[in-house]
Chain A
Amino acid sequence: MTRKNKNNDIKEHSEAFWAVVWRRMRKNRWGMFGLYFVFLMLLVSVLSPLLASDQPIVCKYQGKLYFPAIIEILQERGTGPHWINKSKPFNLPQFDAKAELDPEEFAIWPLIPFSEYEQTSDFFSPPSAEHWLGTDELGRDVAARMIHGTSVSVKVGFISMGIAAVIGISVGAIAGYCGGKVDIIISRIIEIIVCFPVFFLILAIMVWLEPSITNVMIVIGLTRWTSIARYTRAEFIRIKGQDYVIAARALGISHPSIMFRHILPNSLAPVLVSITFGIASAILVESGLSWLGFGVQAPYPSWGNILRMAYDSLRVAPYLVYPPCIAIFLAVLSYNLVGDSLRDAIDPRLRRAA
């Protein structure tokens, strides 16, 4: 066996773990359903201007082709007046009428030809061919708002848990690797933070901050790292006594390098499961905060404030309740399913019991 071959073997071996996990995960029907739904949410949030917009995807106007909705994707979105100004050149009066144009001119409209802010004159109209999910008290198309609200949930899930993962993994790694007094102090701090109900803690910090999606993401990230830290710590304690870590230390490799290059990759699996469940709960916290009015603010759509509007007009327009409820439920369910199937795939011993 040549040296080169040997290296390849090692490489294949180290990749195999995630390949095995993936193979096992693919067999889990419900887990795959969850994964598909998560991808669907990602897709919807990225392509939202193509799905629901008051501007055409492609249009020919005075002999020129325009792609207003596609340009929306590339532009910074969701910043209100700033964004509206940028898209002005395309906001042509003809297109607002949503009528057929000249024979030479044409426009292909998105599936839902309304933007999330556009106020029509039908208030509280029940679901119909024109407004698939009906309109709210300001005559806005709920389907368009739901589609654009998806990106809030996706963003909050990934960014806030990204922050939490960075904090949690670093803190947990330090506690687990250093052990001793450092470990005791960090574990105590985590114990103290866990005493505060997360929602209370987040609300108490939000008092000082402007309610906005950015602040919501930061605060969730800063308060939700404890369970990630606990898992990382446990994994580090388990792994740091293993032979390859001792060998690495004997070779004189620096502590940070051992921690992050040798131990961390091998401890990520259970942490990933915890992050997946964390995303589900971050989505929940965000919609809860938005429902209470401390999250995403009024003109911007989020599933939470769509649900709030539905709750406030429960007697007038009961049909408004279903879209946000079903969306939040499916999002949380999907992340839970992915998390569970990931856990089963990582440690099949647990599968029979779970």
Chain B
Amino acid sequence: MFNYIIRRLLLVIPTLIGITLVTFVIINLAPGDPAQFQTQSIMDPEVSIRVYEQLREYYGLDKPIHVRYFNWIGKLVKLDFGTSMSTDQRPVIDKIKERLWPTMSLAILSLLISLSISIPIGVYSAVRQDRLFDRASSTILYALYSIPSYVMAVPLILFISIKWDLLPFQGMTSDNYDELTTMGQAADITKHYILITFCFTFGALAYYSRFIRQNMLEVLRQDYVRTARAKGLKESSVIMRHAFRNSLIPVVTLMGMLLPAIIGGSVILEVMFNWPGLGRLFFESMMSRDYPTIMALSFITACLVLLGTLLADLSYPFVDPRVSYD
């Protein structure tokens, strides 16, 4: 077990190096001098010269490309992503830190909610295949799965927030947040979370339910399930202990794959809901051509995704005792 973890961790290193290479290539995609390219949109000549010098220093543009790459790596290791080029001039890492939680909390919430709803739906419709519930839920889930999250969000905002005025849809807190009591603050934040969490979740929920149903159907056809039934076990025990546990294995892989989808999908939803998360930061940085932040965000999200797949891989032995890597 310990050996496996070490070996799996070692495998991360080449991928991590690859991620840095891809990010570095994207930075250097700019034609000519990236510092010049990045400053040409700045109107004020004084600011332009200052930023240009800053960028040249950060990128070390007077040095050859491989030296630049290793210098940049040296800075990455210290989590030094440079200074933001937008008007606030703050270190990029601070900006990202404060935006990390809103997005990660959404991702975790949506993962938990979608799993806890889709597992019962998937298992139940697989066990009662082709019954009314299965047919109805399959149709509804297929439709939900085909609705893009931002396409769902706009009518939701229109009805729930604007027409009926039930829930807020801008930001994480109301304007009068500071004046509220602690309870009031908690209620306020919860209200702001509901709509955006729903939009983050329903697609994954539909996908998971279909996936779990399909896995469950496959497992239910296996010989060991027939054996379990033949030896007279209770149906509930056959389903939960014999079939369900085995249908979970591919779900774990899926969890690792879902993280990039959630984070990638966060840009539009966060802009729509004015949510102070990574996605909106990405959008804001694009609008202000804030390259250091964009590169740092690409790098950090790629690392997060890598972490997700790593955790999924490491959790295999816990889900499936047959899997042992020693």
Q: Which residues of A are at the interface with B, using a C-beta cutoff of 8 A?
A: 188-189, 191-201, 203-208, 280, 284, 287-288, 291-292, 294, 307, 310-311, 314-315, 318, 321-322, 324-325, 328-329, 332-333, 336, 352-354
The interface residues of chain A lying within 8 Å CB-to-CB of B154 are 307, 310-311, 314, 321, 325
The interface residues of chain B lying within 8 Å CB-to-CB of A311 are 154, 272
A196, B271: Cα distance in complex, Å: 20
| Contact (A200, B218) CB under 8 Å given A195-B260, A325-B154 | no
The interface residues of chain B lying within 8 Å CB-to-CB of A208 are 29-30
The interface residues of chain A lying within 8 Å CB-to-CB of B196 are none
| A352 pairs with B217, CB closer than 8 A | yes
Q: Point out the residue from A191, A193, A205, A291 that lies within 8 Å of B268, measured CB to CB.
A: A291
Of the listed stretches B48-56, B178-186, B294-302, name the one at the interface; the rest are far from the partner chain.
B294-302
| B297 pairs with A314, CB closer than 8 A | no
The interface residues of chain A lying within 8 Å CB-to-CB of B218 are 353
A284, B149: Cα distance in complex, Å: 10
The interface residues of chain B lying within 8 Å CB-to-CB of A284 are 148
| B155 pairs with A353, CB closer than 8 A | no
Let me know if B199 is at the binding interface, CB within 8 A.
no
| Contact (A196, B148) CB under 8 Å given A207-B291, A311-B272, A333-B143 | no
* 30 A–B pairs (Cβ distance < 8 Å), ordered by A: A191-B15, A192-B18, A194-B305, A195-B19, A196-B260, A197-B260, A197-B263, A200-B264, A200-B298, A201-B298, A203-B283, A203-B294, A204-B294, A207-B286, A207-B289, A280-B146, A284-B148, A288-B267, A291-B268, A292-B271, A307-B151, A311-B272, A314-B162, A318-B158, A321-B155, A324-B151, A328-B151, A332-B148, A333-B143, A333-B146
- What 1/0 flags go to B296-320 for Cβ under 8 Å of A? 0110011101100100000000000
Q: How many A-B residue pairs have CB under 8 A?
A: 122
- What 1/0 flags go to B215-239 for Cβ under 8 Å of A? 0011000000000000000000000
| B155 pairs with A200, CB closer than 8 A | no
Q: Which residues of B are at the interface with A, using a C-beta cutoff of 8 A?
A: 14-15, 18-19, 21-22, 26, 29-30, 142-143, 145-148, 150-151, 154-155, 157-158, 162-163, 214, 217-218, 260-261, 263-265, 267-268, 271-272, 282-283, 286, 289, 291, 294-295, 297-298, 301-303, 305-306, 309
| A199 pairs with B265, CB closer than 8 A | yes
A291, B279: Cα distance in complex, Å: 14
Looking at A208, A315, A324, which has the most chain B CB atoms within 10 Å of its CB? A208
Distance (whole angstroms) from the CB of A201 to the closest CB of chain B: 7
- Besides A192-B22, A197-B305, A284-B148, 6 other CB < 8 A contacts? A196-B298, A199-B264, A200-B297, A307-B151, A325-B154, A329-B148
| B305 pairs with A195, CB closer than 8 A | yes
Q: Point out the residue from A193, A196, A200 that lies within 8 Å of B282, measured CB to CB.
A: A200
| B148 pairs with A200, CB closer than 8 A | no
The interface residues of chain A lying within 8 Å CB-to-CB of B291 are 207
The interface residues of chain B lying within 8 Å CB-to-CB of A198 are 260, 264
| Contact (A325, B151) CB under 8 Å given A192-B15, A207-B294, A352-B217 | yes
| B148 pairs with A199, CB closer than 8 A | no
Q: Point out the residue from A200, A291, A325, A352 that lies within 8 Å of B301, measured CB to CB.
A: A200
A197 and chain B: residue at smallest CB distance:
B264
| A200 pairs with B263, CB closer than 8 A | yes
| A291 pairs with B150, CB closer than 8 A | yes
Distance (whole angstroms) from the CB of A238 to the closest CB of chain B: 20
